[in-house]
């Protein structure tokens, strides 16, 4: 077994392809159609099993990442999505869809890399990557100042501006994923989805919804 440091732990985006996945016909099942350009800045409110938090995105920090996130949110992708990898003091990771058929659609929908203009400080949100050109749908929120990730190509595109106390409460009892830890195996999450997670890791926290906050909202 090869051990990994915190600086390596977020690079776990590639997993085996799903097999015998049923067809889907929902708004986020065709990545090729979800290519809108995001506003220069926008806010997204996450409603989770621990409460609500708000992320503010600055597109200029990471344009390709911001655009992908914007399209995922607008399509309704983040519904019943697990925080499947939560490591205290480091980060919480999410973004694999609960339906294996949807995961299969997005697995090879990579976006081009963005230069790292910001830093992975506490509260920033960043796409996970398994190396150059591999960002798809997995993201993480930094619990601490993980500046060591900056030099590895992890490009933050926004930050939690409200409700970081909620993010801090996301359940971390399962820790690192298998095989390096006792948490969910990403390959199985990809192929079996929430059926696997809810059976074997019943205490995970989930995103119930993520919505764009109207520009004229005072909240």
CB-CB contact of 167 with 53 (8 Å)? yes
pLDDT value at 121 more than 90: yes
CB-CB contact of 52 with 166 (8 Å)? yes
> Where exactly are the structural domains of the chain?
37-213
DSSP result, 44-83: EEEEETTEEEEEEEEGGG-HHHHHHHHHHHHHT--SSEEE
Q: What is the mean pLDDT of residues 8-15?
A: 42
Spelled out in words, what is the top-level CATH class assigned to the domain 37-213?
mainly beta
More confident residue, 154 or 181: 154
Q: Which of 154, 131, 132 is nearest to 141 (CA)?
A: 154
Find all residues with CB under 8 Å of 41, minimum gap 6, and list them: 56, 57, 58, 59
User: In this predicted structure, what is the pLDDT of residue 217?
Assistant: 57
CB-CB contact of 83 with 171 (8 Å)? yes
189 phi, psi to nearest 5 deg: -60, -45
User: In this predicted structure, what is the pLDDT of residue 180?
Assistant: 87
pTM above the 0.95 mark?
Answer: no
- What is the radius of gyration, based on Cα positions, of the chain? 16
User: In this predicted structure, what is the pLDDT of residue 22?
Assistant: 34
Which residue(s) pair with 207 in the sheet? 48, 81
Question: In Å, what is the CA distance from 5 to each residue of 64, 133, 149, 150, 170?
Answer: 27, 22, 11, 15, 22
Q: What is the mean pLDDT of residues 91-103?
A: 96
Which range of 2-6, 14-18, 32-36, 87-91 scores highest in mean pLDDT? It is 87-91
Q: What is the DSSP letter of 214?
A: P
Q: How far apart are CA 54 and CA 41, in angstroms?
A: 13
What is the Cα 177 distance to its own chain's centre?
A: 15
Which pLDDT tens digit goes with each residue over 174-185? 999 898 888 999
User: In this predicted structure, what is the pLDDT of residue 30?
Assistant: 85
């Amino acid at each position: 077994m090869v051990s990994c440091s915190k600086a390596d732990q977020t690079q776990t985006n590639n997993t085996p392809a799903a097999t015998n996945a049923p067809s889907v016909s929902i708004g986020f099942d065709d990545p090729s159609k979800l290519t809108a350009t995001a506003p220069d800045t926008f806010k997204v409110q996450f409603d989770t099993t621990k409460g609500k938090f708000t992320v503010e995105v600055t597109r200029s920090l990471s344009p390709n990442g911001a655009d992908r996130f914007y399209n995922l949110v607008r399509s309704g992708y983040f519904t019943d999505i697990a925080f499947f990898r939560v490591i205290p003091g480091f980060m919480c990771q999410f973004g694999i869809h609960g339906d294996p058929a949807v995961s299969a659609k997005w697995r090879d929908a990579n976006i081009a890399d963005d230069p790292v203009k910001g830093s992975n400080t506490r509260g920033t949100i960043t796409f996970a990557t398994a190396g150059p050109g591999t960002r798809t749908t997995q993201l993480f929120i930094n619990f601490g100042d993980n500046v060591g990730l900056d030099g590895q190509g992890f490009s933050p595109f926004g930050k939690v501006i409200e409700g970081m106390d909620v993010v801090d409460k996301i359940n971390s009892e399962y820790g690192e994923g298998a095989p390096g830890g006792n948490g969910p195996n990403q390959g199985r999450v990809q192929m079996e989805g929430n059926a696997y997670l809810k059976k074997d890791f019943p205490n995970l926290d989930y995103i119930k919804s993520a919505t764009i906050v109207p520009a004229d909202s005072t909240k």
